Structures are given as structure tokens and as C-alpha cells.
Amino acid sequence: MAQHNEIGKQGEERAARYLEQKGYQILERNFRHQQSEIDLIARKDKTMLFVEVKTRSNLSFGNPEEFVSYTKVRLIKRAAEHYIYAKDWHHDIRFDIVAVTLANEQIQVKHIEDAFY
């Protein structure tokens, strides 16, 4: 497996653990709909989160959250719409980013709530 894929998996695992520690229940990992993918779908009370996880091994080119493109947001929203309809969800939703930095043997997790609409 390529190193960037391994770093991405580590970041997703860290993000899931972080959310669970904050009281969220992880419902899905790597949910796919057509060409769209949502890294994590979580729930807390009556709010469902659609989470994009961005992981970087260094900050030389910027913070991880800066790499969520407009196209990616559009794809996440499309997959979320499908998921909401399939699950007949009628409560609140939120789109979050969890930025994970794995650098210098230190791990930083930054949770950005309502990252996009």
C-alpha cells in the first residue's frame, strides 16, 4: 500500500476515535455512493455528521483542512443526500472536517464543525 494511503487510514482511525471520545457514534466508514465517498458518518443525539477527514504528515504546503476542494464538497453533499434519503433521516445534519496532522511523532486533531453547508 502506498505511504499516502497508509497515512490517510491512520488519520481516519484517529478521527473516528476522537469523535467517539466526544460522544459521537460512528455509523459508517468510507460510505460510497456512485463516485462520491464520505470518510465518516457519525451521530450524536439528533444530529448526523458527514465528516471529511484530511491527514497530512507535515504542514509544508498548508493545513490539512485547506485541501478540501469545492468539487469534494459537492460530491460529499451528493452522497449525504442519498444517505439521508435512504435512512429516512428527518433531524439535523452537519458537515464537518477533521484535520489530522501526523508530524514529528506528534498527532494533532482539529475538529471543524459546520465546515461547509
pLDDT tens for each residue of 47-100: 999 999 999 988 888 899 999 999 999 999 999 999 999 999 999 999 999 999
Q: Is the pTM of this model over 0.85?
A: yes
Q: pLDDT class for 112, splitting at 50, 70, 90? A: very high
Q: pLDDT class for 2, splitting at 50, 70, 90? A: low
Q: pLDDT class for 1, splitting at 50, 70, 90? A: low
What are the grid coordinates assigned to 65, written together? 483542512
Q: Is the pLDDT of residue 4 over 70?
A: no
What are the grid coordinates assigned to 76, written together? 460529499
What are the grid coordinates assigned to 18, written together? 476522537
Residues contacting 22, CB < 8 A, separation 6+: 44, 111
Q: List, in order of start, the domains of the chain with CATH numbers.
A: 3-112 (3.40.1350.10)
Q: If you average pLDDT over every residue of the chain, what do you get? A: 93
